[in-house]
Chains A and B, each alone.
Chain A
Amino acid sequence: MLKITDLKVNYGGIEAVKGITFEVPEKSIVTLIGANGAGKSTTLRAISGLVKPGQGNIEFLGEEITGKTPEAIVKRGITLVPEGRKIFPDLTVCENLKIGAYLRKDKLDDDINWVYDLFPRLRERSWQMGGTLSGGEQQMLAVGRALMSRPKVMMMDEPSLGLAPIVVRGIFDIIREINKQGITILLIEQNANMALQTADIGYVMETGRITLTGSGKDLLVNDAVKAAYLGA
């Protein structure tokens, strides 16, 4: 569904991504894991159009989307849940969700209800300012906001960042639930354990390159991955 070929991205004079190739099949959960500075976030930012790739190809549903604007890419059905959540603190929960659907011109009531059904906590806090939510609730809001654009692919940048383990488990349950409803997920994580347990396919990134590929379960028992990311 999403096909990345030989992608290179320069970031402030440094080549952060040095030619990676991978694929995200339809209705799957794919994860990129790796340490800080491996180039995971940069890859997502390049796909979502926030940074221009230096070289390479990004293909979505057979159409080349390399170097298109974020607006065009969101319109085609790829949405990013940014790192650190980045909800809009001075907008209400409901307004945050409506912003997620900014490029759509049709009725939003059904979608808002759908998100509220996924995250009942958000319904209770519909009129609260986004900034007053707890970290976990903010992550729910960030996911809900992304869902409002009715994405085909949802890309998530470190959804577990700074959250308590029990909250992280809840977030991953939601990710699986959303995937079951037919949305493809591209997930990047430092929490390799949770990510690999959830994912169908895993890629390990190191300093701008993909060094290992396999199904989530295989990578979980891979010795190199264990030593580097799982602390075993």
Chain B
Amino acid sequence: MSTKKKLIYTIAALAALFIILTLCEQLLPASSMLFIVLKKGAIYALVAVSMNLVNGFTGLFSLGQAGFMLIGAYTYAIFTIPLKEHAAVYQYFDGGIIQFTVPILVALVMAGLAAAIFAFLIGLPVLRLKSDYLAIATLGFAEIIRAFFQWDAFGPVTNASNLLRKFPTFDTVYFPFIVSGICIAVIVLLINSSYGRAFKAIRDDEIAAEAMGINLAKHKQMSFTISSFFAGIGGALLAMYQTTVQAGAFKSSMTYELLLIVVIGGLGSVSGSVLASFLFIAASEWWLRFLDTDTYIGAFKVPLLGSGFRMVVFSVIIMIVVLFYRQGIMGDKEFSFGAFGDIRRFFRKRFGRKEVTK
């Protein structure tokens, strides 16, 4: 398929997406679950893709994503809470010590940079470790960061264990879609560049990559830092979505959710991560909600249904998905418009033989 055709299809798909989002905005009530799925799904898609960059494309088993999101979320919140709200938000800390604000987009970039700087510093010692050891070390750092942000001594900046709130947020689904979309596009460009090729070479075989002159330490550090940059932006978006930030929410279970999304979508597939995050959020927040409520048919109470049962069913579904799609939904393949052509040819061959032979 020619690049020109690809470009036209991509623009058409983006336009279609925009129209669908606009229709949703106009026609559905603001309380519709669909909006939660779209907003949170877009944010999770960004973080999942950033995690895939490290775990799926560079082959580094890192579990620090929640920690970097936390840094991003706090950085965004701290620098955007309007000054007149400081007294209320930082009520235990004399209005806090950071007495200025920056525009939203600047704060988003700052959120990414803050996460990236932390990742760079953590990466220096930690990226020498391999596989499981790296996972444990990054997970540990994420937990330490969470504890630090709740520490009273940092209260004037982080508000300790109290909520940060009243910072600017978004109402429509456009904002998270546009920011995530741009960030994911940048990651895709990176993956398709010669740096991305080097990351994949490191994933496939470190010794061979080194023998080809690829500097392992430098490239691992680069992948880790860039991934954290986007995780930081994802964290900031999540803060906007939740309208409040509290360090306690960024538990390691959040990292596991993301890891699940990455694995279900397919390690090494950006489109897989995006698809999986929307499916994951939809299933966990929306489609399975009914399982959590006590249901009566007449006077008969349906057994098992009740608080917490949703997670049981959800776990079983995930196990089934993992069993039947060993490589995840997409494997390491990417979505392509060419695939539609393949499907069409397949059906024509199957059902429309006469048409082809003529």
Contacts and interface: CB of A to CB of B under 8 A. Distances in A.
A144 interface: no
Contact of A99 (B201, B207, B215): B201
A103 B194 CA distance: 10
B57 to A, nearest CB: 10
A90 B269 CA distance: 12
B204 A102 contact: no
Interface string A85-103: 0111111000100111011
A73 B214 CA distance: 11
B215 A71 contact: yes
Contacts of B207: 50, 82, 86
B213 A75 contact: yes
A99 B268 contact: no
B51 interface: no
Contacts of B203: 90
Contact of A88 (B194, B201, B213, B268): B201
Interface in B243-275: 268
B91 to A, nearest CB: 54
A181 B135 CA distance: 48
Nearest to B218: A71
A214 to B, nearest CB: 30
A116 B272 CA distance: 33
A88 B204 contact: yes
Interface string A186-222: 0000000000000000000000000000000000000
A102 B200 contact: no
A86 B194 contact: no
B211 A82 contact: yes
A79 B200 CA distance: 20
Contacts of A75: 213
A102 B211 contact: no
Nearest to A86: B208
B208 A87 contact: yes
A132 interface: no
B197 interface: yes
Nearest to A73: B213
A98 B194 contact: yes
Interface string B189-211: 00000100110110111011111
- Best-surrounded residue of B203, B210, B268 (most CB of chain A within 10 A): B210
Given A88-B204, A89-B204, A90-B268, A80 B194 contact: no
B27 interface: no
Contacts of A98: 194, 197
A80 B208 CA distance: 9
Contacts of A82: 207-208, 211
A75 B332 CA distance: 32
Interface in B204-240: 204-205, 207-215
A198 to B, nearest CB: 22
Nearest to B210: A70
Contacts of B332: 90
Given A50-B207, A86-B208, A70 B213 contact: yes
B208 A95 contact: no
Interface in A103-145: 103, 145
Interface string B270-283: 00000000000000
Contact of B197 (A71, A74, A95): A95
A102 B200 CA distance: 13
A102 B214 CA distance: 7
A80 B212 CA distance: 8
Contact of A91 (B204, B213, B214): B204
Given A71-B214, A102-B198, 8 more contacts: A71-B215, A74-B213, A79-B212, A86-B205, A86-B207, A88-B201, A90-B268, A99-B214
16 contacts: A50-B207, A50-B211, A69-B215, A70-B210, A74-B211, A75-B213, A79-B211, A82-B211, A88-B201, A88-B204, A90-B203, A90-B204, A90-B268, A91-B201, A91-B204, A102-B213
